[in-house]
Structure 1
């Protein structure tokens, strides 16, 4: 008769020091990551947001604005929620779009068309639009050019073209199909009617002025 069978020997696995150290490092790194995430979530700022479309020059109302709590990068300039009353009643210096944060530079207390100025709308075809985006406040020149068919007279003129100084108040988006952009330009009240006549005759071109306005 066979004797009792001895149970198999089970040897305890020895944990290598390197594996233990790596495990501890991963746990520590995970803890640091969670701590950083908690700090980012907790360090939030209440800011003013845009909830409705506001066109350039329109007065901003309280209904156009909202509030949100966000983790704000220090480099981002946004109106704090506590300063909401200070921007209500001001005019939009740029087009305000829903879902965006409101920056202090996007509103102004000044009218975009000043006393003694007139607003001249100018339609530009795609080939006439500068590659540089037109933005409110940008200085431009309105240049009078000969009408089609009037330039081929066989005579050359050394006279400088007539120009009118202006300032962009608003530039629309390109119209579907035609691509035409309408630019509202503020000119002096004396020059406004002449600029409008150039627009009607199709003899006006818009060029960007130097950054310093010279």
Structure 2
């Protein structure tokens, strides 16, 4: 009787192919992407720049400075005192010109070049060390009726002409029309508001000392009129 021999495949390790158990599969190796040092440096620089920009913005928004404020009404030409001024800590655009609180003493004793109102910030251009009536000048107060007040606001420094006109009821001989009226050059120092009831506005006008008495005489006689002079370059 012949024996049937079953053929078994033997692996080199001595383990039969039939009884071999599959082991874990090793994943394929993926080559790591090479990082470029230049790209990394640029990314870090952008992050740093962005952070610095945010920091600067926060500092600007939160940065406050102490400035000089006006706490009382101050008329044009009035000498400033410490009681007229105060201090405030505010966040301010650098383009806005103000007097710093540390410089308050430098403006005390100067004159207001314009009318100052409470609650406003004091600007360097609003004060002057010079008198609004200069040496060799006189101040002439002129009362203007409502119909004589120019529609254009009268402000300190505005150039004007004081014109002599015939007195009311004076007969015109016909010769006066050929003669130019007498005029006096002046400069507005201050203009009041309209008086209640009458509406009269009083304007202080600086003139040459030699012309002051003449202008005052015209004002007293009611023969003076005020005319605005066009600014330079007009």
TM over 0.5: yes
Aligned residues: 180
2:137 equivalent in structure 1: 117
1:167 equivalent in structure 2: 187
CA gap 1:213/1:164 in 2 versus in 1, 3 angstroms: farther
1:212 equivalent in structure 2: 232
CA gap 1:155/1:116 in 2 versus in 1, 3 angstroms: closer
* Cα offsets for 1:149-198 (capped at 9, x unmatched): 11544555211010000011111111112111100000011100000000
Asked whether the 8 Å contact 1:118–1:188 carries over to 2, the reply is yes
1:100 equivalent in structure 2: 120
Consecutive unaligned residues of structure 1, counting only runs of 5 or more, are 1-34
CA displacement at 1:85 relative to structure 2: 1.2
CA displacement at 1:213 relative to structure 2: 9.1
1:52 equivalent in structure 2: 72
2:106 equivalent in structure 1: 86
TM-score normalised according to structure 2 size? 0.71
CA displacement at 1:62 relative to structure 2: 1.2
What SS does the corresponding residue of 1:157 show, helix, strand or coil? helix
Consecutive unaligned residues of structure 2, counting only runs of 5 or more, are 1-54
Aligned counterpart in structure 2 of residue 65 of structure 1, from 85, 95, 120: 85
1:135 equivalent in structure 2: 155
Compare CA radii of gyration and give the structure with the larger one.
2
Asked whether the 8 Å contact 1:139–1:213 carries over to 2, the reply is no
The answer to which of 193-202 and 53-62 deviates more is: 53-62
CA displacement at 1:87 relative to structure 2: 0.6
After superposition, residues 157-196 of structure 1 pair within 5 angstroms as: 157-196=177-216
- 4+ runs of 1 displaced by more than 4 Å? 37-41, 151-156
